[in-house]
Amino acid sequence: MGSGKLAYFLAKQFASKGYHITVVNTDQQEAVTFSRSLKATVIHGEGSNPTILSQAGAYQADVVLGLTGNDEDNLIACQIAQKEYGVPRTVALVNDPENRPIFEKLGISVAFSATEIIANLIEQQTSSDEIKNLLPVAEGKINVTEIALSESTSIAGKTIDEIQLPTGTLIASILRRQDVIVPGGDTVLEINDRLILISQPEYYGQLLRLLGAE
Amino acid sequence: MAQSQYIVVVGCGRLGSILASRLSSQGNSVVVIDPWESSFNNLSSEFSGFQITGDASELSVLRSAKADKADCLLAVTDKDNINLMVAQIAKNIFQVSTVLARVFDPAREKIYRNFGIATISPTQLSAEKFLANIPKN
């Protein structure tokens, strides 16, 4: 449920991936526009209204997404979907980043804060060209990072076996010019290689020092 | 009267202002929250508590009202969903012992009553009042 560009483009993207989508939109005019341009069932109404949820087929839904601009509407809609209609997975957008952990305590499967995500992206993009944090996986227990090997690195010309990666870290692939290499122990590292690293946060610093990227 | 309590009233419309004024005049320490400063004009002259201008769906606003220290929280804005959200935060996160939420929609009221949130539905109350006042023949 939701309105505006976010709901529109998400619905469009998921529909094109073959998911069966129902959009609940509070704005009647926008609901009409959505219904004409989306491959989705569009219902005009309030997503936190139990009757509307039931009309939208909440009984059969696998996931309910609360994407409106109001935290409270997202919370209540997701809770009703979950508790009243047994929807197994609920995802809520929060505007106030402080509400994210609270929503998860109140039973929402996943709460995400667009503010937080955008702030992180901006920080990463402005921090360093050599290191890019691509994404945290499993709530940040694993990080996927991209690192460019600079001239100053001491490990160029060595094989992956020789450099002895710390435990809890892995070079998942190497981007070398146009090629993507899935490395083995005997792969030799070169300057300007871009390494895609998978690491547990506690070993990340060790890994960066080894690669000479810090 | 009973011992003075620390009471947070969320929403200072017609209902909120009556509750806040009445509770304050009974000697309780009352904090009332509303996003519009002009709403505080609804409070009677008996009100001697604090006013906080802010949106109660923002956690820092609830914190600044010291909702985590309250004995009682009344969620009486004109929006059901805000009331239900604030009530759950007060009850489940801040462990406030008495929490009451106003919910207009009887369907939503029933669902949340089953989850253990104490709700009062003006719609239901007035329906009962109307029905009780129709003479039976």
B87 domain residue, yes or no: yes
Give residue A126's pLDDT: 61
* Residues A50, B108: Cα–Cα separation, whole Å: 7
CA–CA gap between residue B47 and residue B29 (Å, rounded): 10
Instruction: Express as a percent the part of chain B with pLDDT over 70.
Output: 99
Beta strand A194-199 with A142-148 is antiparallel
Q: Beta partners for A6?
A: none
The pLDDT value given to residue B60: 93
In the sheet that holds B6-10, the strands lie side by side as B50-53, B29-34, B6-10, B72-75, B98-102, B119-120
Residue A52 in this model has a pLDDT that exceeds 60: yes
Quote the CA–CA distance of A93 and A6 in Å, as a whole number.
Answer: 11
Q: Give me the mean pLDDT over the B127-137 stretch.
A: 89
For residues B24 and B7, give the distance between their C-alpha atoms in angstroms, rounded to a whole number: 9
Can you give the pLDDT at residue B95? Answer: 95
Beta strands (DSSP E) in chain B are 6-10, 29-34, 50-53, 72-75, 98-102, 119-120
User: How many other C-beta atoms can be found within 10 angstroms of the C-beta atom of residue A33?
Assistant: 14
A88-125 pLDDT per residue, tens: 999 999 989 999 999 999 999 999 988 888 877 776 66
pLDDT at B111 over 70: yes
Look up residue A59 and give its DSSP letter. G
At A197, the amino acid letter reads L
Cα–Cα distance measured from residue B101 to residue B121, given in angstroms and rounded to the nearest whole number: 9
For A20: left if phi > 0, alpha if psi spans -120 to 50, otherwise beta; the answer is beta
For residues A69 and A45, the answer to whether their CB atoms sit within 8 Å is no
Note whether residue B74 is domain-resident. Answer: yes
CB contacts, 8 Å: A113 with chain B: none
Q: How far apart are CA A176 and CA A76, in angstroms?
A: 49
The boundaries of the domain holding residue B70 are: 6-132
> Which of A49, A76, A80 is closest, CB to CB, to B85?
A76
Hunting for tokens 């998921």 — which residue is that?
A14
CA distance A155 to chain B (A): 49
**Rounded mean pLDDT, A177-201:** 87
Tokens describing residue A8:
């529109």
Classify residue B1: in a domain, yes or no: no
pLDDT for the residue numbered A125:
64
Q: Is B21 inside any structural domain?
A: yes
**Confidence band (pLDDT; 50, 70, 90) for B1?**
very low
> Which residue in A107, A71, A40 sits closest to B60, CA to CA?
A71
What is the amino acid identity at position A6? L
Other beta carbons within 10 angstroms of residue A86's beta carbon come to 11
Q: Is the pLDDT reported for residue B44 higher than 70?
A: yes
CATH of the domain at B33: 3.40.50.720
Q: How many helices (H) and strands (E) does chain B have?
A: 5, 6
**Range scoring the smallest mean pLDDT among A34-48, A124-138, A196-210, B119-133:** A124-138
Per-chain mean pLDDT for chain A? 87
Average of per-residue pLDDT across A140-153: 81
Can you name the residues that pair with A180 across neighbouring β-strands? A175
pLDDT band at A203 (very low <50, low <70, confident <90, very high): confident
> What is the average pLDDT across A136-165?
82
Residue with tokens 């070398």: A176
Alpha-carbon distance of A193 to A187, in angstroms, equals 12
- The verdict on residue B79 lying in a domain is yes
Q: Kindly determine whether residue A83 and residue B111, on different chains, have CB atoms separated by under 8 Å.
A: yes
Residue ranges and CATH numbers for the domains of chain A are: 4-117 (3.40.50.720), 130-211 (3.30.70.1450)
Distance from the Cα of residue B75 to its chain's centroid: 3
Residue B66, pLDDT above cutoff 50 = yes
**CB B72: neighbour CB atoms within 10 A?**
18
State the pLDDT at residue B2: 57
State the average pLDDT over residues A24-33.
Answer: 93
Specify the range with the lowest mean pLDDT, choosing from A64-68, A179-183, B69-73: A179-183
Domain count, chain B: 1
* Lookup: tokens for B53: 């201008």
Q: Which long-range contacts (CB under 8 A, 24 or more apart) does A124-131 make?
A: A130/A213, A131/A208, A131/A213
In a domain, B137, yes or no: no
Q: Could A102 and B59 be called an inter-chain contact, meaning their C-beta atoms sit closer than 8 Å?
A: yes
Which of A159-168, B6-15, B87-96 shows the lowest per-residue confidence on average (mean pLDDT)? A159-168
pLDDT at A164 over 70: yes
**Chain A contact probe: residue of B64, B81, B94, B114 with most A CBs at under 10 A:** B81
Let me know if residue B91 belongs to a domain: yes
Q: Across the interface, do A76 and B84 touch by the CB < 8 Å criterion?
A: yes
Mind listing the pLDDT tens digit for each residue in A165-181?
888 888 888 988 888 88
Residue B119 lies in a domain: yes
CB–CB contact B88 A83 (8 Å) = no
Residues of A in contact with B85 (CB under 8 A): 71-72, 75-76
Q: What is the mean pLDDT of residues A156-163?
A: 87
Measured between CA atoms, how close is A103 to chain B, in angstroms?
A: 9
Residue A25: name the closest of A14, A5, A95, A15 by CA: A5
